[in-house]
Amino acid sequence: RLPVPKLEDTIRRYLNAQKPLLKDDQFRKTEELAHHFEKGIGKELHEQLVAQDNQNKHTSYITGPWFDMYLKAREPVVLNFNPFMSFNPDPKSEYNDQLLRATNMTVSALRFMKTFRAGYLEPEVFHLNPEKSDTEIFKKIIRFVPSSLSWFGAYMVNAYPLDMSQYFRLFNSTRLPKLNRDELYTDEKAKHLLVLRNGNFYVFDVIDRDGNMLKPSEIQAHLKYILSDNSPAPAFPLGYLSAENRDTWALLRKNLLDNGNEEALQKVDSAVFCLSLDDFPIKDFVHLSHTMLHGDGANRWYDKSFNLIITKDGTAGINFEHSWGDGVAVLRFQNEVFKDSTKAPALSPQSQPASVDSSRAVQKLDFKLNDALKAGITKAKQKFDASVEALSLNMIQFNEGGKDLLKQKKVSPDAVAQLAFQMAFLRQYNQTVATYESCSTAAFKHGRTETIRPASIHTKKCSEAFVRELSKHSTEELQKLIVECSKYHGRLTKEAAMGQGFDRHLFGLRYLALSKGIALPDFYQDQAYAQLNHNIISTSTLMSPAVELGGFGPVVSDGFGVGYQVHDDWIGCNVSSYPARNGKEYLQCIYKSLEDIFNVLKGKKISS
């Protein structure tokens, strides 16, 4: 179970995170409020939270508040919440044909779904000592241990089973807009796939009456039929509505239902997943990021648990709705789909589509729109276009080293990347700001994520040495500062992964106070608390053989969204920003910072 941290630990960790962001007098005030909270109302709330947690052993203390946080948010899901992860191309280039890849990936996704629902999917396990635990012998033994004890057997060999409670929402699921709080909806009985092309909506069954998958050649025939349909794009593409403010969208959805679209919407909501087929090839990585993060708005349904997007040249990616689950579940799905569709593809370039009557099997959905709905779609499109227009996406590849060299120098690769983000911001804007790094807590029942706070007194001291006081420090001193940052970051990461951060705990206590109608404690009304939760640098990393690139929008209008990957011998980084910040310049500063850090670690002298 996800532990509720001790209140004194949380307050100490919170103050450690505040220290680099505040001037001395501000920090003293925040410290006073924090200790006052710890001895008074905070203590009472903490005791209530622990008692509540003990009464709800089937779940975790963060589950309810976290679902609420996402589902009560009224901002559009696109750009604000939905991230993307793009697939690597198929190593066999002739398999990157749009129709072939769409068919093979759809078949692999359905194989994954059927394996999961039959209870045959291998559990997700984090192996700290893979030589011992990631072996056939261990799997054979553990298979015969009853599940109430098997996790303990895994612990004994340092293998940590991860929570898989989110996985069922991957399929037949959607987020429904409702006033004030959205709802998650799943209908596992539905057997059809939703396909979007040119803003038009199509459905066809991919599972038959007996629960068997349609033949791959038939799926191919139906997708070919959709790709060759030359119906014009709709004058009022419905997809834009899923990019609207949630309350606006909830009212428009009610209008849609009242206007005779109940059956068509039911088909959209209950579909196994949404396959979006785009009619253009990808030009470069920036174009790829724009396509997968938001696309044109007409050819996506952002509320579906995920959209599998495949462009004209067979480039594939996933855009997923974030309230139902986190990157861990989606990444497992992507890894399996990539592996299966490349190693055991259902069809080859020589395969012929089945000779079936697709015009009978494929249904094109028709939506009845009144003037209010047409006006709503027009307005949604204007707002979507304006948001996308304001968004910048930029990226760099740093080729002067990566994980191998850093491990050789005994520093954490993640710590070095995060240090570079701090150093770069100091160089560009001359300050240290609230920074967020996401860390999975899936090692616990119904765990979600915890925050690592990468901006510390250590990164601040080190960044200032590199940016402002280079002449005062020898290379050895700079190396020491990097090592110190690495150690501290390693500790924060370990704490967060073990459910010992402070962000979720404080969030849970605040949620409890509000739900009990208690006046919001002064601690939460502190300007410094708001500032710490206004995450100007929001970061997330993932490594996978299936994924080429991942990214997301800034979480605040004056922020950066930083997606990064530390490979064996290079580092990739992509940054999203709005006009309040210059992402291109920030990336140049990141590059310079990485260069400086690597040179210092190699024992070279650097210049400012």
Nearest Cα residue to 257 out of 249, 245, 265:
265
Residue the block writes with tokens 């005030």: 29
Q: Does residue 360 share a domain with residue 240?
A: yes
b/e code 132-160 from CB counts within 10 Å (16+ = b): ebeeeebeeebeeeeeeebbebbeebebb
Segment holding 317, helix H or strand E: strand 316-320
> Radius of gyration over alpha carbons of the chain, in Å?
25
Residue 326 has what pLDDT? 93
Among candidate residues 357, 373, 389, the one where a domain is terminated = 389
b/e code 35-64 from CB counts within 10 Å (16+ = b): eebbeebbeebbeebeeebeeeeeebbbbb
**74 within some domain:** no
Cα distance between residue 357 and residue 219, in whole Å: 12
Residue type for position 238: L
Q: Does residue 334 share a domain with residue 239?
A: yes
Contacts of 554 (CB under 8 A, 6+ apart): 538, 560, 561, 576, 577, 578, 581
Residue type for position 150: S
Q: Does residue 365 share a domain with residue 409?
A: no
Cα distance between residue 335 and residue 545, in whole Å: 7
Residue 133 has what pLDDT? 87
Q: Does residue 444 share a domain with residue 375?
A: no
- Determine the structural domain holding residue 145 and report its residue range: 125-161
Residue 150 has what pLDDT? 84
DSSP 207: B
**566 DSSP β-pair partners:** 571
**1 within some domain:** no
Cα distance between residue 397 and residue 591, in whole Å: 8
CATH number of the domain bearing residue 488: 3.30.559.10
**454 within some domain:** yes
Q: Does residue 43 share a domain with residue 11?
A: yes
Q: Does residue 198 share a domain with residue 332?
A: yes
Cα distance between residue 608 and residue 462, in whole Å: 14
Q: Which phi and psi (to 5°) does residue 381 adopt?
A: -65, -45
**2 within some domain:** no
DSSP 353: P
pLDDT, tens digit (0-9, with 9 covering 90-100), for 553-607: 999 999 999 999 999 999 999 999 999 999 999 999 999 999 999 999 999 999 8
Which stretches of the chain score pLDDT less than 50? Answer: none
Point out the catalytic residue in the list 322, 446, 489, 505. 322
Q: Does residue 237 share a domain with residue 184?
A: yes
Given the DSSP bridges, would you call strands 274-277 and 192-197 parallel, antiparallel or unpaired? parallel
Q: Does residue 587 share a domain with residue 459?
A: yes
Strands ordered across the beta sheet of 547-551: 363-364, 200-205, 192-197, 274-277, 306-310, 316-320, 84-87, 547-551
Among candidate residues 343, 364, 389, the one where a domain is terminated = 389
Per the structure, the count of domains in the chain is: 3
435 by DSSP, 3-state: which?
Answer: strand
**170 within some domain:** no
Residue 154 has what pLDDT? 85
Q: Does residue 479 share a domain with residue 365?
A: no
* Residue 322 appears among annotated catalytic residues: yes
Residue 140 has what pLDDT? 87
CATH number of the domain bearing residue 277: 3.30.559.70
Q: Does residue 456 share a domain with residue 529?
A: yes
Q: Does residue 261 share a domain with residue 321?
A: yes
CB 110 within 8 A of CB 193: no
pLDDT, tens digit (0-9, with 9 covering 90-100), for 286-332: 999 999 999 999 999 999 999 999 999 999 999 999 999 999 999 99
Q: Does residue 397 share a domain with residue 412?
A: yes
CB 176 within 8 A of CB 185: yes
Contacts of 581 (CB under 8 A, 6+ apart): 554, 558, 559, 560
DSSP string, 390-433: H-EEEEEEE-S--HHHHHHTT--HHHHHHHHHHHHHHHHHSS--
Among candidate residues 357, 389, 421, the one where a domain is terminated = 389
Cα distance between residue 379 and residue 249, in whole Å: 11
Nearest Cα residue to 324 out of 302, 339, 340, 309:
302
CATH number of the domain bearing residue 154: 1.20.1280.180
**36 within some domain:** yes
